[in-house]
Amino acid sequence: MKYIPNIITITRIILIPFYILPFIYNNLYGNNSLLYGFILFILLSLTDFLDGYLARKYEIVSNFGKIIDPLADKLLVYSAFFLLVYLGRFPLWIIMVLLIREVLVTVHRNAAQNEGVAIAAVMSGKIKTTIQIITIITGFINHIYNNLLGNIDYYFIFITLFITIYSGVDYYLKNRKIISSKIFINKIYVYFLSIFRLGKIPFAPGTAGSLVAVIAFVSFKDMFISWKFYNLLWLFPLFIISSLLANKSILLFNEDDSSEIIIDEFTGQIIPLIFIPFSVLNILSAFVLFRIFDIWKPFPISKADNIKNGWGIMLDDLIAGLVTLGLMQLIIQLG
């Protein structure tokens, strides 16, 4: 029984692509694909209440659950928001504002907890969450049923924007003096390098980083593919910034080359996915090959891995990604 809440949470994360894909491939599950995807989103949303109820009822609390449950919630909500951006329902800039607020508040609350200070949720934050879910649901209904609800989802997204900004300011004014700015900034670095603390899971954190890359690519593959080599405009800065911050591994994680740093696996894995033809077989093959190279570390990956600083942390996965890409291109050409 003690593992059931965490199993439900992990299942929620795993199933996220399966509600997204019907909206990208309209006939994936037949004529009612969009409806099935929407129902799956509703069911996944309800599992958040289920695992929380079970954890409280049976007093099942674990460090893993404290990390993975909020992450699963954010992944579900913001995957829906970005999907609705992709579908043309919501403006991208609004969703980015919502996401930035979410990240800053989450990081601040976690930093306070690490300092032994528990911050209670404010009412405006609870209202914000409720409005966000309503906004998402109305967006999906209007997309599926050809604007059945008129422009209500468009109005709701601006209400969501206002409530989200208000709740963020409300949170800041009530809790701004709890931790120092230095602690807060360092915690932002930790969340960035560990991809929202996903790197803290006790098993295969590197594989989790690769899976995040796969999920991101599959969910927004049209965007990645259409950009082609323009992806380098964000991949190169990502590599530089990640390398510089990974130099702070001892300060941020209390160990050199911490296993919690998984932004390197994300970066390395996304490279072959962007530049190979899109298919389930190709994605699966690229994932497996990258994991083999990242774990086995043959030359020249091993050479980069011996560089004991932030550049080495990132470089070995970058090379593993490039080797995977080269091998995948060869397999595709020969096939």
Q: Averaged over 16-41, what is the pLDDT?
A: 84
Q: Given a cut of 80, is residue 221 above it in pLDDT?
A: no
3-state secondary structure (DSSP) of residue 182: helix
* CA–CA dist 281, 227 (Å, integer): 22
Is residue 27 in a domain? no
Give φ, ψ of 254 to 5 degrees. 65, 20
Number of domains in the chain: 1
Residue owning tokens 């992990």: 10
Q: Averaged over 192-205, what is the pLDDT?
A: 85
CB 112 within 8 A of CB 119: yes
Question: 109: closest CA among 179, 181, 169?
Answer: 179
CB 127 within 8 A of CB 163: yes
Q: Given a cut of 70, is residue 121 above it in pLDDT?
A: no
Q: Averaged over 208-214, what is the pLDDT?
A: 91
Peptide bond into 300 cis (omega under 30): yes
Q: Given a cut of 80, is residue 53 above it in pLDDT?
A: no
Mean predicted lDDT score pLDDT of the chain: 85
Quote the percentage of the chain above a pLDDT of 90: 32
* Single pTM value for the model: 0.73
* CA–CA dist 119, 247 (Å, integer): 31
CB 294 within 8 A of CB 243: no
Is residue 213 in a domain? yes
Q: Given a cut of 90, is residue 289 above it in pLDDT?
A: yes
- Which of 31-45, 53-67, 102-116, 190-204 is least confident? 53-67
Is residue 62 in a domain? no
CA distances to 24, 105, 323, 327 from 289, rounded to whole Å, are 26, 37, 9, 9
CA distances to 181, 189, 253, 298, 308 from 186, rounded to whole Å, are 9, 5, 10, 33, 21
* CA–CA dist 44, 19 (Å, integer): 9
What's residue 76's pLDDT? 87
What's residue 183's pLDDT? 85
What's residue 316's pLDDT? 93
Is residue 301 in a domain? yes
What's residue 170's pLDDT? 86
Q: Averaged over 291-317, what is the pLDDT?
A: 89
pLDDT digits (tens, 9 = 90+) for 231-241: 888 899 999 99
What's residue 309's pLDDT? 85
Q: Given a cut of 60, is residue 46 above it in pLDDT?
A: yes
User: What's the start-to-end Cα distance of the chain, in Å?
Assistant: 48
Residue owning tokens 């033809």: 277
Q: Given a cut of 60, is residue 1 above it in pLDDT?
A: no
Tokens found for residue 202:
């006790």
Which has the higher per-residue pLDDT, 201 or 120?
Answer: 201
Q: Averaging pLDDT over each range in 19-33, 39-53, 200-214, 314-328, which range is the top one? A: 314-328
- Which of 61-70, 153-162, 293-302 is least confident? 61-70
Is residue 212 in a domain? yes
Is residue 281 in a domain? yes
What's residue 66's pLDDT? 61
Residue owning tokens 């991208």: 92
Residues in the chain: 335
* CA–CA dist 318, 239 (Å, integer): 9
What's residue 55's pLDDT? 58
Is residue 288 in a domain? yes
Q: Given a cut of 80, is residue 51 above it in pLDDT?
A: no
The whole domain housing 309 covers 203-335
pLDDT-based confidence at residue 201 (cuts at 50, 70, 90): confident
CA distances to 8, 12, 46 from 50, rounded to whole Å, are 8, 11, 6
What's residue 251's pLDDT? 85
What's residue 94's pLDDT? 93
The angle formed by the CA atoms of residues 43, 46 and 50, to the nearest 5 degrees, is 125
The angle formed by the CA atoms of residues 208, 77 and 40, to the nearest 5 degrees, is 85
Is residue 279 in a domain? yes
